Structure 1
Amino acid sequence: MSVRLLIDEMHSPRVAEVLRAERWDAFAVAADSSLRGRPDASLLEYATESGRVMVTENSGDFARLAALIVASGEDHCGIIITSRARYFRGSPAYPNNVIEALRRFLAAPPHEGTSWIWWLE
């Protein structure tokens, strides 16, 4: 299964840059002025329409939006949740730690299909 990522703007665009350089399909919201600042519902809709899995640390809003989508009988392409504590942007390990975790996920995706939520370890 080939996973295409849309990385939410709280994450550095460097995450997508590094993954793309390694031939993974990753796109950063922060790198596109037409996507920056969009409401979460609009980003999840964009991700779904473009066949991308949303990568975000905003678990509350995206879990709620995902539940609403599924309850309406629709699907989304999946959501990967990153932990603020584990992938703290002020840490010297960031963004390399989130890049490495996403590499592991992309190399062996634990999910197929649609409408799943995965907490990145």
Structure 2
Amino acid sequence: MSAERLLLDEMFSPQLAQALHDDGFDVRAVAGDPSLAAASDVDVATWAARDGRRVLTENVRDYVPLVSALEPPLRLLLTSSRRYPRSRRNPAPLLKALTDWLGAGVDRGPIEWLP
């Protein structure tokens, strides 16, 4: 099982985090945590870095500059709504991609794109 711990950014549902958690992965969602739901991107990134979590986000513009700005360093898993449209009716493609990515259990760099 992967040692990666994820924090799903605000655009992702707590249900997605729960489905990954049910599969044995350590995943939390910003939208499911009242202390993070109203937080700024900087605060979310800082919390994730301190908690040893990689942030899954579509927000490349705001998060990538934070990778080298924070201590401990921030790690990102980037994705696109074009590649994986967010859908509560059909979360299967994104869920499968994340399950495969987390299950691979390989060392990764600070910025990764979800294949």
Bin for the TM-score computed over the shorter chain: 0.7 to 0.9
What 5-or-longer segments of structure 2 have no aligned partner?
Answer: none
1:28 maps to which residue? 29
Post-superposition offset of 1:84: 1.6
1:118 maps to which residue? 112
For residue 7 of structure 2, give the secondary structure of its aligned residue in structure 1: strand
Q: CA RMSD in A?
A: 1.9
Q: Hey, what's the Cα distance between the residues in 2 that align with 1:13 and 1:66?
A: 24
Q: Hey, what's the Cα distance between the residues in 2 that align with 1:90 and 1:22?
A: 19
1:45 maps to which residue? 46
Kindly tell me the number of residue pairs found equivalent between the two proteins: 114
Post-superposition offset of 1:4: 0.8
Q: Hey, what's the Cα distance between the residues in 2 that align with 1:67 and 1:8?
A: 19
> Which one of the candidate residues 89, 102, 106 is aligned to 2:102?
106
Q: Read off the aligned partner of 2:52 and give its amino acid letter.
A: G
> Deviations 1:24-49 (Å, cap 9, x if unpaired)?
10111111111102111100100011
* TM-score, length of structure 1 as denominator length: 0.84
What 5-or-longer segments of structure 1 have no aligned partner?
Answer: none
1:44 and 1:76 in contact (8 A); partners too: no
> Which one of the candidate residues 61, 82, 95 is aligned to 1:85?
82
Q: Hey, what's the Cα distance between the residues in 2 that align with 1:23 and 1:56?
A: 21
> Deviations 1:65-88 (Å, cap 9, x if unpaired)?
11333xxxx342511011121122
1:76 maps to which residue? 73
* TM-score, length of structure 2 as denominator length: 0.88
